[in-house]
């Protein structure tokens, strides 16, 4: 049954509009009538009581802001009358008890994945090209153009054809407005020469030299984590030779990460080659041989505890914390109950939700590690003249996320309600089954880059405004908070959580649907839109201030 308003938590003193409300309109909640003092757009909140300047504003059951002026009942929450506020946090030993969800529908399920020698299972089988320095990016681009098209991994380039048609129309003096963009197919399994190789991926980046040596060291660990990723079958490394990030540093980090590493790995150093032409030709030839080798690996059944989900939100709106994020959170709880792994990151978007996460962390050392990482990150942002309170983007605010604490408490719901078993710094790889916190920025691409490095084999990416982000080695599944977005940007959205807003599905039903989709995606039965579109975004974090 469709609702028009929603009170998220019993302690809240604001109510969310699920539909547009007009000035003067009367709505009823729990036997009390509220008259709108102004137009309230869907996704925004109105106040349940008259507020005095300095009064605390509660949502999700916690402090999310303070009133900056006297505010009448029925008025809209805005950046003018509300400012960010959040409770301080500390470690306090809490005996957190978790009631796991019913997993009877999934307990005997499997997915078809790529089994690696170390016991991990990939949801894809990629060949990976890694430059140790930005100087090699152009060579990677040349190799990509040569191999993608010929081996069947490129998105059909309808835009080249469109540009050619515009040029021809212009030459003939015709109206170019009449030239339409023709639809085209997208490269799929039937187009690939190597049927068991899901893609050839390229980690172009701007690091490896210049900057500070610490940046090169962190980048080395990041690239090593990608090379060792269970979704990667083999690797080609291109090095210039004189850069800060030496090839041996990368190989040492790879060995430290996985002493039994045994994937095909080829290294080419340009300053030791006869020519650029020879370097590129040799890299293509050896990589082709490697592709033929990893093509012998076939998908085999694996239990669901071998899955590792990274949960992420971007382009968030006022429905994110009501539909998509808690639905993903329920899917996360299901996977944890089945013995799988879940990664919740984006530390700037946990501001105001820290105490809940700390109380769910059984291990005191892990809890204190989280506090240390959060405090250091927040302090660095404030020293730069910014702060977590400045995290919401103009798009977030326009669609109802007025303070960072509102955004963060809604974002944290992606991690479900299970205990926190571990806390990982950037580039640390997940080891323990259950929910782990991973230190990354909130920035969409930096966060997904970090989640993949920590071992996510699928990423659930929720969005209310639409975000075309993907990852080179980790299939990224887009989950929409509302049906209007799904209809408008259907080319990038995989799952629609609008039925939750419309009252057609419960969060539990939606969460089960999401896990079912993950099983299909992990098996290669369905291909997420970001994968089909080659949305292979990769941005290493230099540990500077990034919100």
Cβ pair 473, 229 in contact under 8 A: yes
Place of tokens 């153009």: 145
pLDDT higher than 60, residue 486: yes
Distance between CA atoms of 107 and 429, rounded to whole angstroms?
A: 26
Helix (H), strand (E), coil (C) string for 157-205: CHHHHHHHHHHHHHHCCCCHHHCCCCCCCCCCHHHCCCCCCCEEEECCC
Q: What is the DSSP string of 412-474?
A: GGGG-SSPEEEEE-TTPPP-SSEEEEE---SSHHHHHHHHHHTT-SEEEEEESS------SSS
Residue 502: C-alpha distances to residues 313, 331, 463, 496 (Å)? 21, 20, 17, 11
As given in the structure block, the two tokens for residue 46 are: 């109105």
pLDDT higher than 70, residue 187: no
Largest CA distance in the chain: 82
277, 198, 237, 215 alpha-carbon torsion, rounded to 10°? 130
Of the two residues 190 and 436, the one the predictor is more confident about is 436
- Weakest mean pLDDT among 93-97, 112-116, 384-388: 384-388
Q: Are strands 14-17 and 45-47 parallel, antiparallel or unpaired?
A: antiparallel
Distance between CA atoms of 21 and 27, rounded to whole angstroms?
A: 9
As given in the structure block, the two tokens for residue 92 are: 């306090």
Q: What is the DSSP letter of 485?
A: H
CA-nearest of 320, 324, 482 to 400 is 320
Distance between CA atoms of 463 and 472, rounded to whole angstroms?
A: 19
Task: Give residue 231's pLDDT.
Answer: 98
pLDDT digits (tens, 9 = 90+) for 376-433: 888 888 887 877 776 778 888 888 889 989 999 999 999 999 999 999 999 999 999 9
Cβ pair 463, 444 in contact under 8 A: no
Distance between CA atoms of 134 and 210, rounded to whole angstroms?
A: 10
pLDDT higher than 60, residue 184: no
Q: For residue 407, is it left (φ>0), alpha (ψ between -120 and 50) or beta?
A: alpha
Chain centroid offset of residue 239 CA: 29
- Weakest mean pLDDT among 169-178, 291-300, 495-504, 507-516: 169-178
- Weakest mean pLDDT among 56-65, 208-217, 454-463: 208-217
Distance between CA atoms of 415 and 331, rounded to whole angstroms?
A: 9
CA-nearest of 197, 284, 195 to 234 is 197
Handedness of CA 424, 428, 429, 431 (dihedral sign): negative
Band (pLDDT 50/70/90 cuts) for residue 1 is very low
In the predicted model, what is the mean pLDDT of the chain? 93
Task: Give residue 2's pLDDT.
Answer: 60
pLDDT higher than 60, residue 186: no
pLDDT digits (tens, 9 = 90+) for 338-389: 999 999 999 988 988 999 999 999 899 999 999 999 998 888 888 878 777 7
pLDDT higher than 70, residue 547: no
Task: Give residue 156's pLDDT.
Answer: 64
Cβ pair 479, 495 in contact under 8 A: yes
Mean pLDDT of 174-183: 84
As beta bridge partners, residue 312 has 461
Distance between CA atoms of 412 and 346, rounded to whole angstroms?
A: 9
As given in the structure block, the two tokens for residue 81 are: 């009358």
Task: Give residue 161's pLDDT.
Answer: 83
SS3 content of the chain, % helix, strand, coil (to 5): 35, 20, 45
Phi, psi at 46, each rounded to 5°:
-125, 155
pLDDT digits (tens, 9 = 90+) for 307-349: 999 999 999 989 999 999 999 999 999 999 999 999 999 998 8
Task: Give residue 185's pLDDT.
Answer: 53
Q: Are strands 232-239 and 265-269 parallel, antiparallel or unpaired?
A: parallel
pLDDT digits (tens, 9 = 90+) for 229-285: 999 999 999 999 999 999 999 999 999 999 999 999 999 999 999 999 999 999 999
Distance between CA atoms of 262 and 233, rounded to whole angstroms?
A: 10
| Domains identified in the chain and CATH numbers | 5-84 (2.30.130.110), 126-152+187-296 (3.40.50), 313-532 (no CATH)
Task: Give residue 527's pLDDT.
Answer: 96
CA-nearest of 469, 463, 311 to 393 is 463
Place of tokens 């999700």: 60
Mean pLDDT of 131-157: 91
Mean pLDDT of 146-161: 83
């Amino acid at each position: 049954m469709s609702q028009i308003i929603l009170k998220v938590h019993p302690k809240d003193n604001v109510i969310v509009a699920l539909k547009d409300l007009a000035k003067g309109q009367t709505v009823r909640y729990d036997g009390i009538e509220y008259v709108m003092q102004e137009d309230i757009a869907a996704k925004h909140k109105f106040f349940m009581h008259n507020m005095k300047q300095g009064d605390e504003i509660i949502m999700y059951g916690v402090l999310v802001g303070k009133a900056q002026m006297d505010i009448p009942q029925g008025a809209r929450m805005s950046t003018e009358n509300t400012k960010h506020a959040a409770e301080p946090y500390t470690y306090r030993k809490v005996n957190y008890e978790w009631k796991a969800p019913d997993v009877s529908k999934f307990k005997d399920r499997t997915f078809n994945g790529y089994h690696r020698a170390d016991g991990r299972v990939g949801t894809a089988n990629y060949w990976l090209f890694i430059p140790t320095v930005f100087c090699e990016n152009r060579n990677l681009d040349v190799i990509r153009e040569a191999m993608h098209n010929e081996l069947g991994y490129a998105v059909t380039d309808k835009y080249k054809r469109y540009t050619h048609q515009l040029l021809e129309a212009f030459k003939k003096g015709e109206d170019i407005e009449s030239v339409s963009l023709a639809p085209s197919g997208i490269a799929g399994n039937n187009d690939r020469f190597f049927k068991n190789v899901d893609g050839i991926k390229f980690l172009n980046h701007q690091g490896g030299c210049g900057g500070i040596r610490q940046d090169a060291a962190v980048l080395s660990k990041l690239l090593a984590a990608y090379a060792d990723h269970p979704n990667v079958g083999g690797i080609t490394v291109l090095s210039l030779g004189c850069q800060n990030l030496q090839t041996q540093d990368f190989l040492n980090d790879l060995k430290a990460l996985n002493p039994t590493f045994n994937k095909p790995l080829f290294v080419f150093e340009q300053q030791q080659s006869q020519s650029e032409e020879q370097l590129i030709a040799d890299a293509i030839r050896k990589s082709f041989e490697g592709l033929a080798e990893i093509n012998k690996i076939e998908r085999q059944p694996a239990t669901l505890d071998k899955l590792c989900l990274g949960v992420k939100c971007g382009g968030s709106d006022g429905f994110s914390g009501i539909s998509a994020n808690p639905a993903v959170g329920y899917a996360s709880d299901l996977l944890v109950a089945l013995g799988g792994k879940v990664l919740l990151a984006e530390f700037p978007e946990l501001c105001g939700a820290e105490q809940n996460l700390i109380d769910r962390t059984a291990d005191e050392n892990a809890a204190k590690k989280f506090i240390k990482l959060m405090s250091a990150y927040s302090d660095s942002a404030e020293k730069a003249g910014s702060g977590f309170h400045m995290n919401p983007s103009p798009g977030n605010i326009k669609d109802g996320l007025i303070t960072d604490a509102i955004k963060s408490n809604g974002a944290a719901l992606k991690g479900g309600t299970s205990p926190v078993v571990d806390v990982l710094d950037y580039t640390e790889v997940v080891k323990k089954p259950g929910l782990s916190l991973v230190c990354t920025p909130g920035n969409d691409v930096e966060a997904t880059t970090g989640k993949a490095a920590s071992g996510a084999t699928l990423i659930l990416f929720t969005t209310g405004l639409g975000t075309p982000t993907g990852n080179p080695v980790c299939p990224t599944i887009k989950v929409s908070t509302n049906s209007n977005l799904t209809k408008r940007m259907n080319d990038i959205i995989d799952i629609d959580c609008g039925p939750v807003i419309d009252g057609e599905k419960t969060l539990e039903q939606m969460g089960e649907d999401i896990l079912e989709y993950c099983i299909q995606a992990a098996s290669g039965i369905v291909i997420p839109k970001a994968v089909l579109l080659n949305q292979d975004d990769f941005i290493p974090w230099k540990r500077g201030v990034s919100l």
